[in-house]
């Protein structure tokens, strides 16, 4: 691999990505570092982040507001696929990575850079997601990951940065590693590294403790059009606004906390706490509407696809041909998934309590136990005889 001269670095404003700037220039001979910070709704002061990159030695510092695309092209696809990694994690961090990779590659192409860089270490999933996504989008770009190679402890990293005017963190830095965006927060490290230790209340920001949630339930209605959430309590919402408001509404009732031991792609088990109120509620509501509007065989078959799709997202294969092929399947299934789902929020629980759709496959005439029943009960007998025939024959053979 040749030496990179001009590099586009994924930048967050934290110590590690800041130290990447002088490190790339002084240790790896990079001539120009262009930083790129993505606004994914993490709520950081991105103008300060932009200036910090310049102070740390970047030749150009860019901020890209990609919130709309994040929700429409990533989060909403995940909702249509009901993606929950290991049945629980709604993939807030994982979904952001392919989008960041996309803008890194676009920026590298625009500025004529020969490499992209990120500040991931060698232990996590994010390095895989960045590297594989960038390679998929432009296999000619080099990918540099200084923090994967420098082998500096936190103290050494801070000391290295100070030589180049990168200030040490002002506050006594938090013991937690936190990744956050519109879709939620991922929290690890500190006391959480002990899987037996209860997460301290201080780690949560988006969700209230049950002791502080309202004593009255709240009903909310989510409207979907072809598997995409479009309304909240009957009012049309733009995608970002819908996620923000639902985070607020559900978080206020303590909904959206997950405490799990998860299996990383690199083979490590890690303990992660998530807060993801809107995503969890939307997936729950969406799945419910599917059960009203999809046939039994499509619903059942899709469950397997969803499991694979979750693994694809988690394992950094967003731009893989398998993902694209599964998208075609999922999009086809969503054509009739339109309607309204009513949920009740109370004391940490979101329960679906009603659903409506013009495409409903539910037939009261068939389901009822009342006099209007249209189901042909006698037809059941012949059906059961044929359905059970292989089992009956097997039994006759083996039991004699």
Footprint of ligand ARG (CB under 6 A)? 93-94, 125, 177-179, 186-188, 272
Please, which residue, 176 or 224, has the CB nearer to ligand ARG? 176
In angstroms, rounded to a whole number, what is the distance separating the alpha carbons of residues 17 and 4? Answer: 18
126 is catalytic: yes
Residue reference for tokens 């993490």: 42
Nearer Cβ to ligand ARG, position 90 or 146?
Answer: 90
Of residues 16 and 272, the one with the C-beta less far from ligand ARG: 272
| CB of 311 vs ligand ARG, minimal distance in Å | 12
What is the spatial distance between Cα 25 and Cα 13, in angstroms, rounded to a whole number?
Answer: 17
Question: 126, 131, 179, 288: which one is catalytic?
Answer: 126
How many other CB atoms are found less than 10 A from the CB of residue 139? 7
Collapse the DSSP code of 64 into the 3-class scheme (helix H, G, I; strand E, B; otherwise coil) and give the result.
strand
Select which of 50, 114, 148, 177 is catalytic.
Answer: 177
DSSP 3-state percent helix, strand, coil across the chain (nearest 5):
45, 20, 35
The nearest distance, CB 177 to ligand ARG, in angstroms, is 4
List Cβ neighbours of 236 (8 Å cut-off, separation of 6 or more): 230
Smallest gap from Cβ 80 to ligand ARG, in A, equals 19
Query: Which pair of structure tokens corresponds to residue 300?
Result: 């059942």
Report the nearest approach of ligand ARG to the CB of residue 280 (Å): 15
Closer Cβ to ligand ARG, 93 or 293, answer by number: 93
- Name the one residue in this structure whose structure tokens are 């001979």: 29
CB of 72 to ligand ARG, least distance (A): 20
Selected catalytic residue, list 97, 185, 257, 336: 97
Determine whether 59 is an active site residue: no
- Does 18 participate in catalysis according to the annotation? no
| Largest separation between any pair of C-alpha atoms in the chain | 86
Rounded Cα distance between 94 and 310, Å, is: 10
- For residue 125 the two structure tokens come to 């999933």
Copy the structure tokens of residue 376.
């042909």
Q: Which is nearer to ligand ARG, 178 or 352 (CB)?
A: 178
Active centre residues (catalytic)? 16, 97, 126, 177
């Amino acid at each position: 691999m040749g030496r990179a001269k001009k590099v586009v670095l994924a930048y967050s404003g934290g110590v590690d990505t800041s130290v990447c700037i002088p490190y790339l220039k002084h240790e790896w001979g990079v001539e120009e570092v262009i930083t790129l910070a993505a606004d994914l709704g993490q709520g950081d002061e991105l103008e300060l982040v932009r200036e910090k990159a310049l102070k740390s030695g970047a030749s150009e510092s860019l901020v890209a507001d990609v919130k709309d695309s994040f929700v429409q092209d990533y989060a909403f696809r995940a909702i249509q696929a009901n993606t929950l990694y290991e049945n629980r994690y709604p993939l807030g961090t994982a979904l952001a990575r392919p989008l960041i990779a996309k803008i890194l590659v676009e920026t590298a192409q625009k500025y004529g850079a020969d490499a992209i860089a990120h500040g991931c270490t060698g232990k996590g999933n994010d390095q895989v997601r960045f590297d594989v996504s960038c390679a998929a989008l432009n296999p000619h770009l080099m990918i540099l990951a200084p923090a994967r190679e420098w082998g500096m402890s936190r103290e050494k990293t801070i000391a290295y940065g100070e030589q180049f005017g990168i200030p040490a963190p002002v506050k006594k830095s938090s013991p937690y590693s936190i990744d956050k965006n519109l879709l939620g927060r991922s929290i690890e490290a500190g006391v959480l590294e002990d899987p037996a230790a209860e997460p301290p209340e201080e780690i949560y920001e988006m969700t209230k403790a049950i002791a502080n949630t309202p004593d009255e339930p709240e009903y909310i209605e989510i409207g979907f059009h072809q598997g995409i959430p479009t309304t909240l309590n009957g009012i049309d919402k733009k995608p970002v606004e819908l996620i923000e408001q639902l985070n607020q509404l559900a978080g206020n009732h303590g909904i959206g906390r997950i405490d799990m031991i998860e299996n990383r792609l690199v083979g490590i088990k890690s303990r992660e706490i998530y807060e993801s109120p809107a995503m969890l509620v939307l997936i729950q509501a969406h799945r419910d509407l599917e059960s009203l509007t999809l046939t039994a065989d499509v619903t059942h078959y899709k469950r397997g696809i969803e499991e694979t799709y979750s693994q694809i997202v988690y394992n950094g294969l967003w731009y893989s041909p398998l993902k694209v092929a599964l998208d075609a399947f999922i999009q086809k299934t969503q054509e009739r998934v339109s309607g309204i789902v009513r949920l009740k929020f109370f004391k940490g629980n979101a329960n679906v309590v009603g659903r409506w759709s013009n495409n409903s496959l539910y037939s009261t005439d068939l389901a009822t136990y009342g006099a209007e029943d249209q189901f042909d009960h006698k037809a059941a007998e012949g059906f059961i005889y044929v359905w059970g025939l292989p089992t009956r024959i097997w039994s006759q053979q083996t039991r004699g």
